[in-house]
Structure 1
Amino acid sequence: MSVKQPNISLPLKLTFLVFSMVLNCMGIVILQLSEQNITYDKLGFLESFKDIPIAIFSLFAVNFISRFGTKKSLIFALMLVGTCSLFLPFVEVFWFFKLWFAIIGTCFAIGKICVYGIIRNNMTEEKSLAKTMNSVEASFMIGIFVVNTGFGWLISSQFGEYWKFGFMSISLISFFTVFLFIKAKIAEPENKSNKILPDLSEFGKLPFILFFAVSFFIIFIEQSFNSWLPAFYKDHLKVNSFFALQASSFLALFSFTGRAITSKIIHKFSLSRYFMMCLFMIIFLLVVISIIQFNFTEHPKVLLFLFPVIGLFLSPLYPVINSKMIAKIDKDKINTFTSLIVIVSSVSSSLNSMTISLLFKNQILTYYSLYILGAVIIVSVLAYFYFKNNAFK
């Protein structure tokens, strides 16, 4: 990882690993709580308790980070995540999951702004930044793989009723990451702001609006898989919980591979062409999946192996489009810009979860792939205008 302080590479990646596990355990929670007679419409709103605090707190987080510093803010967020995850197994009531996800969302807002700020303050060249973003974001995919695989084994074992104790391992990783940050030397940004809310006037221009629109639908697509794919496998393809989680973990494995490969080869390609190529491959795979769903219903299990391949082309989209814009942002505005990215992501995730829960509630999961395909087509159109109508080519 080409940053000025190489000793912070591991804690940065572990930070994304921790937040990946706590954010993407939503699919596991939905899967397990649905067996406790909690309806899908209630579970669909559960994601809002994670995403709304992210959206509300993100702008205020800029001032919080400016006052206390990047390092102290990251340590605070990780300590809070670790402590709450430590207590989660001992609480039985549903409302605590709402509180837990709200705390996780708030801490993620702080964590992501800090991590993006550190990367931007140490990167200058666009493709180098894209390489670094993909490298760090790849650890996010590892977190999805680990959490699905680990909880899958635990749920399917003789100790399945104690599945919530798996969150204690996340606590240990959080505390270890805090230890690494305490030892690490991190250069803090020079600018200190006392404003409660940052200046957003610059981000109302057309290139930014198109960028945020593209980001919105990328997250929309990602969450359609990350949060709901295990439930789709179980409800529509009729596989058990263990296999549903394991099959979903392969999506994360392909996603990690996609980001890892991108970080190695991105210097050789135009970012815009690479982005559009990935989109076309996703559309192709979703069309094949839809044809199988509607015309070859006697072979639904093949979908278990086709959906994960999408991760290979879906995973590079978010870091590539982010790095392309972040490289053009002034360093003193990067925290504000990242906070807007986090807000857009959280709103997209929340709206997607509420709408996709209707497919599950009404048992029309045959349209699951078409639902996602529609979002991919929208991204393709928006991305075309984004790359065509702004100077960041």
Structure 2
Amino acid sequence: MKNFSIKLSIYLNYFVFAILLNSVGIVIAKSINVYGVVESDASLLEAFKDLPIAFVSFLVASFLPRFGYKRAMLVALVIVFFGCLGMYYGNTFDTAKVLFLTVGVSFALIKLSVYSLIGVVTDTPKEHSALMSSVEGFFMVGIASAYFLFPAFYSDTDPDAWLQVYPVLCVIIALSFVLLLFSKINIPIETSGKSVVDDIKSSAGLLVMPLVLVFIFSAFFFVMVEQGIMTWLPRFNEKIFSFSEVLSVQMASILAISLALGRFIAGWVSKSIAWEKIVIVCSIISVVILLSVLPQLKMEGNAVVLNGLGDVPLLGFILPLIGLFIAPIYPLLNSTVLSHLPKRLHSPMSGLIIIFSALGGTLGSRIVGTLFEHIGGVNAFYFLIIPIALLVISVLIIKRLIKKQDNHDS
């Protein structure tokens, strides 16, 4: 396979960070149940994860090609290795904040490198879209793994037993580091100027492009929806469906599996169906699912706690299937915009994607967490319909701008 070692590194590193990054919903639930933190305060973990992603992306996106993608990913793995050790030995809400701070900083370096390398190793927009969707799909496989890995260490008698997951994660991170260290990534990277200052000026120029401006808002709206659901679904399952703590996390894995499956399917379907049609249809179906499930749920769950899969009501299985339909949106949007820009601008454009995705994730999780605390989980999830509607409008504008750009180039 062409560029096999690069692609293997991309998949493996994304898998590791999928587990770490999206354990935030699990750790939020643990912070509430073990550390006694209220929902609105627990939602701050999302900010400790996402704001460093935005800040680091802003700082390094322009000159990352000069620093080197492999070097950046190795640094990221070292940082997060020590973050996991700190959580294991610290065992407080404050060390959880530090953990997600290291995860955020590291993931910014990983995602910038991965998105830029996808542009380097692909030659056409359709090839770019297919690889982007499969990589993002594998990311969701990592997320699904987290929903099984963490509960494997839960104990009814020892509230700290779940921390045993972090030494395991350290071993996985170390393995990823060694494999990446000996992989061959020797690709000439095209930068946007003769110096770092030129690179930064070129990056800033992206912000005046109408296509880029509309896109970053669409990315913002999507991640607001995705993180709002993903972060709070374990807590939603516990409070609304009355699932046990373990069952709540395991049922949330259906969302991650649905997201993974949806992105793999999108990588295949996007070769024959226009990207904007896929995004709009999937957005509409997502709203239909919310409007079908939420009105049938009570604001608070039953007194009886459900422990087994056989006790789960049908609605408990249907709600997380929304992941199947929101899944294709993010990689298709990212791929569409990146593949319509010169490769020398892929790193700074990836920086903008990550910055606004991080801000959208933080705001979405914060809003849902605050609404969850004050008006209940069911009403909080109704809010997600608003950014979905705004996303559809953004997609229609993006399609019009790309058509205009293509007509101008021809």
Question: Which TM-score band applies after superposition, normalised by the shorter structure?
Answer: over 0.9
Task: Specify whether residues 19 and 272 from structure 1 end up closer, same or farther in structure 2 by C-alpha distance, changes over 3 A only.
Answer: same
Q: Is the 8 A contact 1:154 1:160 kept in 2?
A: no
Taking the aligned partners of 1:363 and 1:280, their CA distance within structure 2 comes to 25
Match of 2:174 in 1: 175
Identity of counterpart residues, as a percentage? Answer: 25
Taking the aligned partners of 1:346 and 1:251, their CA distance within structure 2 comes to 20
Match of 1:9 in 2: 7
Task: Specify whether residues 169 and 188 from structure 1 end up closer, same or farther in structure 2 by C-alpha distance, changes over 3 A only.
Answer: farther
Cα deviation code 1:195-225 (max 9, x no counterpart): 3845312332221111111111110010012
Higher mean C-alpha deviation, range 265-274 or range 210-219: 265-274
- The structural deviation recorded for 1:194 is 2.3
Taking the aligned partners of 1:80 and 1:304, their CA distance within structure 2 comes to 37
Q: Is 2:148 the partner of 1:136?
A: no
- The structural deviation recorded for 1:59 is 1.9
Higher mean C-alpha deviation, range 56-65 or range 74-83: 56-65
Taking the aligned partners of 1:302 and 1:374, their CA distance within structure 2 comes to 26
The structure 1 residue matched to 2:396, chosen from 384, 388, 391, is 384
Q: Is 2:228 the partner of 1:228?
A: no
Cα deviation code 1:109-160 (max 9, x no counterpart): 1110101111101212111111000111111101111111111232256665
Describe how 1:1-393 pairs up with structure 2 within 5 A: 4-35=2-33, 36-63=35-62, 65-156=64-155, 161-186=160-185, 187-191=187-191, 193-195=195-197, 197-199=200-202, 200-293=204-297, 301-391=313-403
Higher mean C-alpha deviation, range 378-387 or range 111-120: 378-387
Letter in 2 for 1:325: V
Gaps of 5+ in 2: 303-310
Query: Structure 2-normalised TM-score?
Result: 0.89
Taking the aligned partners of 2:7 and 2:67, their CA distance within structure 1 comes to 22
- The structural deviation recorded for 1:98 is 1.5
RMSD (Å) for aligned C-alpha atoms = 2.2
Taking the aligned partners of 1:72 and 1:34, their CA distance within structure 2 comes to 37
- The structural deviation recorded for 1:254 is 1.1
Q: Is the 8 A contact 1:292 1:300 kept in 2?
A: no
- The structural deviation recorded for 1:325 is 0.7
Taking the aligned partners of 1:300 and 1:17, their CA distance within structure 2 comes to 29
Match of 2:306 in 1: none
- The structural deviation recorded for 1:62 is 2.3
Query: What is the aligned length?
Result: 390
Letter in 2 for 1:20: A
Q: Is the 8 A contact 1:293 1:300 kept in 2?
A: no
Higher mean C-alpha deviation, range 258-267 or range 130-139: 258-267
Taking the aligned partners of 2:73 and 2:16, their CA distance within structure 1 comes to 12
Q: Is the 8 A contact 1:218 1:379 kept in 2?
A: yes
Taking the aligned partners of 1:64 and 1:92, their CA distance within structure 2 comes to 36
- The structural deviation recorded for 1:26 is 0.6
Letter in 2 for 1:311: G
Cα deviation code 1:361-388 (max 9, x no counterpart): 2142221331112221221122222223
Q: Is the 8 A contact 2:255 2:321 kept in 1?
A: yes
Taking the aligned partners of 1:170 and 1:54, their CA distance within structure 2 comes to 20
Taking the aligned partners of 2:326 and 2:388, their CA distance within structure 1 comes to 10
Q: Is the 8 A contact 2:155 2:161 kept in 1?
A: no
Task: Specify whether residues 188 and 235 from structure 1 end up closer, same or farther in structure 2 by C-alpha distance, changes over 3 A only.
Answer: farther
Taking the aligned partners of 1:370 and 1:155, their CA distance within structure 2 comes to 31
Task: Specify whether residues 388 and 65 from structure 1 end up closer, same or farther in structure 2 by C-alpha distance, changes over 3 A only.
Answer: closer
Taking the aligned partners of 2:183 and 2:156, their CA distance within structure 1 comes to 39
Taking the aligned partners of 1:139 and 1:202, their CA distance within structure 2 comes to 29
Q: Is the 8 A contact 2:229 2:381 kept in 1?
A: no
Taking the aligned partners of 1:203 and 1:271, their CA distance within structure 2 comes to 23
Higher mean C-alpha deviation, range 148-157 or range 330-339: 148-157
Cα deviation code 1:36-73 (max 9, x no counterpart): 21111211222111111111111212255234211111
Letter in 2 for 1:345: S
Query: Structure 1-normalised TM-score?
Result: 0.93
Q: Is the 8 A contact 2:61 2:351 kept in 1?
A: yes
Q: Is the 8 A contact 1:289 1:369 kept in 2?
A: no
